[in-house]
Amino acid sequence: MSTGTIVLFISVALLVLGVLIYNRLITRKNRFLNAFSQIEVQLQRRYELIPNLVETAGAYMKHEHESLIAVTEARNNAASRCTEAGKNPDNSALVGALASAEGSLSSAMGRLNMVMEAYPDLKADETMRDLSEELSSTENRIAFARQAYSDAVMSYNTAREQFPAVIVAAAFSFKEADLFEVDSPEMSQVVKVSFA
């Protein structure tokens, strides 16, 4: 076997390896980008469900207009913030504003849920049951979307930094992805409901 053949052989092998690594990085990158868009989609879904909830609850809760209005206002505020943040996901100020709007929406929802406890008819209503299942499902989806985003970012970053891949990543400028961390305290706060 001549030196030429050996060199050819090795370079073909390297090329194949490079293509494999490149494809792997692309897969991971798309995965985390998709995960990011999922968060937004699910937030929007929640905003669409809330008016229905308010309407159904309003039929039963004649004397609780304040909490219903509070929820509606918080929802509208958060929805418009979400649209703004969705256009410029890089702008951390916008994302922060969305986070605080989300926080106040959550606490308004928490208060509404507490008030609804006093209306057994409302809780037994079929539409209401469907809606609360949908809402809790959506809450789960938001949580999962954020978690999937973090997992995807982690697996992408790990793949990018490992040895042979790091060369490919540098050559094709695969940048490090950021974890979706919101440092506003309202976002991470869990609404506590006490029956004391």
| 141 close to 42: Cβ distance less than 8 angstroms | yes
Q: Is 64 in the site for other proteins (CB under 8 A)?
A: no
Q: Is 116 in the site for other proteins (CB under 8 A)?
A: no
Q: Which is nearer to other proteins, 75 or 141 (CB)?
A: 141
Q: Which is nearer to other proteins, 21 or 145 (CB)?
A: 145
- Smallest gap from residue 170 Cβ to other proteins (A): 26
Contacts (CB under 8 A) with other proteins, residues 127-166: 129-130, 133-134, 137, 140-141, 144-145, 147-148, 151-152
Q: Which is nearer to other proteins, 91 or 140 (CB)?
A: 140
Nearest to 47 by CA among 189, 142, 170, 119: 142
- Smallest gap from residue 46 Cβ to other proteins (A): 13
d(CA 174, CA 186): 33
d(CA 113, CA 117): 6
| 89 close to 36: Cβ distance less than 8 angstroms | yes
Task: Say if residue 76 is exposed, middle or buried (CB neighbours under 10 Å; 0-12, 13-18, 19+).
Answer: middle
- Smallest gap from residue 129 Cβ to other proteins (A): 8
Q: Is 48 in the site for other proteins (CB under 8 A)?
A: no
- Smallest gap from residue 159 Cβ to other proteins (A): 14
Segments of the chain assigned E as strands:
none
Residue with tokens 């159904």, as numbered in its chain: 56
The site that binds other proteins (CB under 8 A) totals a number of residues, namely 20
Both tokens of 25, joined, read 């990085």
Q: Where do contacts with other proteins occur on this chain (CB under 8 A)?
A: 31, 34-35, 38, 42, 118, 120, 129-130, 133-134, 137, 140-141, 144-145, 147-148, 151-152
